[in-house]
Structure 1
Amino acid sequence: MSIPENTYDYIIVGAGSAGCVLANRLTEDGKHSVLLLETGGSDRSIFIQMPTALSIPMNTEKYAWQYETQPEPYLDNRRMHCPRGKVLGGSSSINGMVYVRGHARDFDEWQSEGATGWSYQHCLPYFRKAESWAFGGNAYRGDQGPLGVNNGNQMQNPLYRAFIEAGVQAGYLKTDDYNAAQQEGFGPMHMTVHKGRRWSTANAYLRPALQRGNLKVITHARVHRVVLENKTAVGVLFEHQGTLQTARVNREVILSAGSIGSPHLLQLSGIGNPDVLKAAGIETLHALPGVGENLQDHLEFYFQFRCLKPVSLNRKLGLWSRFLIGTRWILFKDGLGATNHFESCGFIRSKPGVEWPDLQYHFLPAAMRYDGKEAFDGDGFQLHIGHNKPRSRGHVRVTSANPHQPPEIQFNYLQHEADREGFRACVRLTREIINQPAMDAYRGDEIQPGLDVQSDEQIDAFVRRAVESAYHPSCSCKMGVDAMAVVDPETRVHGIQGLRVVDSSIFPTIPNGNLNAPTIMVAERAADLIQGKDPLAPSDAPVSMVSGWQERQRPGTAQR
């Protein structure tokens, strides 16, 4: 199929977690021409493809937008790092590769917020469609999809299993598969790694589609705005190789630029809150007050301990060890280079009266920072812990008609007292878990927060200075039908013909978990909606819910 010059059936802006999925699904029957525009370039770097090198692309300007927030008033006015993928695969090429769908109730919550057709029963078939689970398909897991998912090195380090056992000893459940019927509990963690390589959406979805004659991909293309005529999207204006070009569309423009990029592009196109647009010198072409609002993210901090046995990965951080790990990975695609090292985890509730888990653990058998540097000399381990159902809300707002000027990003982290309360629970519950007998052989001194951090005031002060983003910005173009909704349940921008948004920005609320899996699911389902296909039949697979949640914080204990 030949593609007419500068005219396409669909134009997708952003070759990220959602955009690569759409590029594949919209071209697979050969009936439609698709243009995929990406500001970044190739993802062929070893630092992207080797899972253990995950800290490098996230902190490299070539591969990620290095956004910073405005001073966050409830975090001692700290500016927070907000990297977003700027490469084929988008944030799936720079993230930690953790595969968490979220709790079933998260998607039921979406439906209750007005996203009709996005309940768990509607979403589960698309999670299954997307993945190839290393241990075979069932009512919850897929085994025929593009996205390879596994458990890395199968928890060979003894610290992983000790952490799981400590959670069970503390009165929590054990879960063999938190992405199936039961999220709540402690168990193995899953990652988007296939045959030892990062299995980004560029690898899983885009590469198989690149040979199709009806797909054109342009990298290093910066979209300036959506071109509108009479409140209809007719194309995009983009910059490539120093010149401005216009690409026209027969059917639809689809923004998949992420929770920072998509609202910013809508605003640059004259779609948004008139007051925000006027302040930036942009004419309002369509008033839509919810654009850029409702911004949410996950925060986390590192709970760090010294390790009494020489089993942690801290002894693998030297140059010679890294060389050996890298060499083995290059030759065989296995070993410590083939995992993100987050191989066990936990999902628990912060207090009685919380219906489904709102706290998440990533366990790491090392004590180090996201930039890959050691936190201290010697052996250690750490837990990444965060309160995952925040009630604080922020915004993304255009500040200039110049598309090269970054938007204002303000999360208002910890503005709501419930969020501060959730992090106090993180500190106190984690100490209970790590002090269980299963950790006795490994648990050394508490390095962070430190045993002097005990009272609410001390915990709050520690969290304000130590907490970091988990890099899950979302919800800034929320799906629904209320006055602040940006897209309808079909992912169409309210009031504009021929324009959709498909990425994590359309989540009504943030799920309890990492966002790559639900973003891919959203794109899979949106691809059917865009093509007018009947959605996959809803699943009837049951969900396991803990009884007595109104009175108990954990299943195996009295009220706490």
Structure 2
Amino acid sequence: MEEWDVIVIGAGSAGCALAGRLALAGRGRILVLEAGPRDLNPWLHLPIGYGRTFYHPRLNWMYRTESQPGLAGREIYQPRGKVVGGSSAINAMVYMRGQPEDFDGWERMGNPGWGWREVLSAYRRMEDHALGASAWHGAGGPLHVEDIASAVHPLTPIFVKAAQEAGLPFNADLNGESCEGAGIYQITTRGGLRESAARAYLHPARKTGRVKVETDVLASRILFEGRRAVGVEGWRDGQRVNFRTTGEIVVAAGAINSPQLLQLSGIGAPELLARYGISPVHALPAVGAHLQDHLCYDHVYRSRQPSLNEALLSWSGRVGMALKYVLHRSGPLSLSVNQGGGFFKTRPGLDRPDMQLYFSPLSYERALPGVRALMKPDPFSGFSTSVSPCRPHSRGHVAIRSSDPHTTPVIEPNYLSDEQDIRDMLVGARFLRRLASTPTFAALIESEVRPGPDCADDQAQLEAIRQQAYSVFHPCGTCRMGPDPADSVVDAKLRVHGFSGLRIADASVFPTIPSGNTNAPAMMVGERAAEFMLAH
């Protein structure tokens, strides 16, 4: 059997970054196992194409949570990338790194080397930022970050002006010295195409001849000799396949699939493993625990000025957009719909922002649950504003429900199970109303579509939140990093407690959720994992 120096399980945001860095450093032969297909579908590369991949069974795990009491008993959709590039190939491309205090907090939790100084260095190393090299940004790195301030829809600068009237300062660089204020989001595109982690890291690495990618392989179990990880068992086309390593295995399957794989391999809470007849290899009760995610809540409006709805609905608008994209790689097809936003403090005395704000110059109220109908918006001029608490207190878990690796695991986020999260969501909803009442937005808004003018007090708002809030797909923390095996899974070098030759590198290792979108932090973890392995 062929043996590899490193096996990476998962070609997602962190896995691609890790494999890419190891290959370009010239260290060994690397095998990357991916459960999904190659990233050949054209919708993966057209930026606005994420409206199509959002509910694509070939490219997306299309998970759903358990019924959520805090959200009126609803099951909440949880898309996860099942393709080379992982969720970076199907996400909304917003590039946010988190706040410095997030990572200094990780370090204070017993994770040396994860403070903002080291993390910022990793970010600068991975960036090829449109704003150029500075104390806050890198240039020449593998990942291009685009500044879209001059390309956004005309409604987006109107939003920024209204946010200033609501009390937020203008922020020209939400990834600069501070994220506080309102501005235009930066996105991961290059030349009008999506810049997934595969495009940034993995495809260049494959040209070195040191990386092999095996697609359509579902990893089902890590193989051990004693306490050393030596191989991976998987399934492809209904057949069992095995892969062996002489060096290390890095699990980079994401916040849902990484804990699932460890539990299937006999690593986790003994009582859970016994329930499904899995022989325990090592008791690590934190595997699957500490699940965190960001919730989001929208207000939707009819606009007195044209929104992106008209361009996407009319044949003339679609033809114009297509021509602009084909000829110049520009226009709405080259962008995300999450164009404006920012961060603010929900109450006096806070040392940093705790609420994220989004603005989208379109609406799609008629879409079915779980479907992001970006190409089929509402038949009127519409837009939305949204709030998302940055650091939720509610905690959940991920757990296998069968010893069959093809069975979807239990995903139990426990949204709004903490009273502080409810208070924060209500404060965010009140801010959206304040934003709508500013002179600039009052002149723009024809009417409030959702939740509607009848939603007049906190009780009505809370009911609307329970009925309408949704995940922004930032699950993390399920194999968290920390020094104590009793409540963490990996150490500060991302090594799984109690084993040799086994690391985890993805969003599951986050000790706490970063204050913002999680794709950039996941890639940063891949960068750091490569740094640790190369030093070793």
Structure 1 length normalisation: TM-score? Answer: 0.92
CA-CA distance at 1:328 after TM superposition: 3.7
Shift, 1:331, TM fit: 4.3
1:300 and 2:329 aligned: no
Partner-residue secondary structure (3-state), 1:143: coil
Residue aligning to 1:142: 138
Are the structure 2 counterparts of residues 442 and 111 from structure 1 closer, same or farther at C-alpha, using a change threshold of 3 Å?
A: same
Q: Aligned ranges for residues 168-247 of structure 1 at < 5 Å?
A: 168-247=164-243
Name whichever of 143-152 and 485-494 sits farther off.
143-152
Query: Does 1:446 find its partner at 2:448?
Result: yes
Counterpart mapping for 1:158-557 below 5 A: 158-310=154-306, 312-318=307-313, 320=315, 321-368=317-364, 370-372=372-374, 376-482=378-484, 483-532=486-535
Pick the aligned partner of 2:120 from 116, 120, 124. 124
CA distance in structure 2 between the partners assigned to 1:109 and 1:378 by the alignment: 45
**Equivalent residue of 1:165, what SS?**
helix
Structure 2 counterpart of 1:547: none
Alignment deviations for residues 85-120 of structure 1 (CA, whole Å, 9 cap, x no partner): 100100000000000111111111211222221111
SS of residue paired to 1:294: coil
Measured in 2, the distance between the counterparts of 1:104 and 1:165 equals 27
The answer to whether the Cα contact below 8 Å between 1:264 and 1:407 also exists between their aligned partners in 2 is: yes
Greater CA deviation, 371-380 or 314-323? Answer: 371-380
AA aligned opposite 1:471: F
Alignment partners' CA distance in 1, 2:222 and 2:36: 19
Using the TM superposition, give the Cα deviation of residue 375 of structure 1 relative to its aligned residue in structure 2, in angstroms: 6.2
Sort the Cα spacing of 1:378 and 1:371 in 2 relative to 1 into closer, same or farther, 3 A. closer
Alpha-carbon separation, structure 2, partners of 1:111 and 1:313: 43
Alignment partner of 1:16 is 2:18: no
Do structure 1's residue 55 and structure 2's residue 51 form an aligned pair?
yes
Name the aligned partner's letter for residue 216 of structure 2: H
SS in 2 for 1:462: helix
> CA separation in 1, counterparts of 2:488 and 2:17?
24
**Could you tell me how far apart the structure 2 residues matched to 1:313 and 1:231 are?**
56
Unaligned runs of 5+ in 1: 534-560
Where does residue 551 of structure 1 map in the other structure?
Answer: none
Conservation of the 8 A alpha-carbon contact between 2:92 and 2:337: no
Contact 2:131-2:147 at 8 Å conserved across structures: no
Deviations 1:213-262 (A, max 9, x none): 22111111111110012111011011224321211111110000000010
Question: Once the 2 structures are TM-superposed, how far is the Cα of residue 327 of structure 1 from its aligned partner?
Answer: 4.7
- Distance in 2 separating the partners of 1:133 and 1:336: 21
Q: Deviations over 1:445-485 (max 9, x none)?
A: 11112122132221111001001110111111000113211
Cα deviation, residue 323, structure 1: 4.6
Paired with 1:374 and 1:362, the residues of 2 have a C-alpha distance of: 20
- Aligned-partner Cα distance in 2 for 1:442–1:162: 9
Looking at structure 1, the residues matched to 27 and 533 of structure 2 have their Cα atoms a distance apart, in angstroms, of 13
Contact conserved, 1:345 with 1:363, CA < 8 A, in 2?
Answer: yes
Which ranges of structure 2 fall in alignment gaps of 5 or more residues?
366-371
Distance 2:305 2:25 in 1: 56
CA–CA distance in structure 2, aligned partners of residues 149 and 160 of structure 1: 19
Amino acid aligned to 1:408: V
Contact (CA 8 Å) 1:170, 1:433: kept in 2 or not?
Answer: yes
Equivalent residue letter for 1:456: D
Whether the 8 Å contact between 2:151 and 2:331 is mirrored in structure 1 is: no
Mapped partners of 1:236, 1:37: distance in 2: 9
SS of aligned partner of 1:106? helix
Q: Is the Cα contact below 8 Å between 1:59 and 1:371 reproduced in 2? A: no
**AA in 1 matched with 2:381:** D
Shift, 1:374, TM fit = 5.5
Instruction: Provide the rounded CA distance (Å) in 1 between the counterparts of 2:211 and 2:376.
Output: 44
Could you tell me how far apart the structure 1 residues matched to 2:151 and 2:432 are? 21
Q: 1:67, 1:55 → 2: CA distance?
A: 17
Aligned-residue CA RMSD in angstroms? 1.5
Work out whether residues 51 and 375 of structure 2, in 8 Å CA contact, stay in contact via their aligned partners in 1. no
Structure 1 residue matching 2:17: 3-state secondary structure: helix
CA-CA distance at 1:438 after TM superposition: 2.5
Cα distance in 2 between the residues matched to 1:301 and 1:141 = 31
CA contact (8 A) 1:13 1:38 kept: yes
Query: CA, structure 1 residues 350+155, in 2 after alignment: closer, same or farther (shift >3 Å)?
Result: farther
Q: What corresponds to 1:45 in structure 2?
A: 41
Contact 1:152 1:338 (C-alpha < 8 Å) held by counterparts? no
TM-score normalised by structure 2 residue count: 0.96
Three-state SS of the structure 1 residue aligned to 2:213 is strand
3-state SS in 1 of match to 2:199: helix
Equivalent residues of 1:75, 1:413 under 8 A apart: yes
Answer yes or no: is the 8 Å Cα contact 1:360–1:388 preserved in 2. Answer: yes
User: 1:447 & 1:375 partners in 2: Cα distance?
Assistant: 14
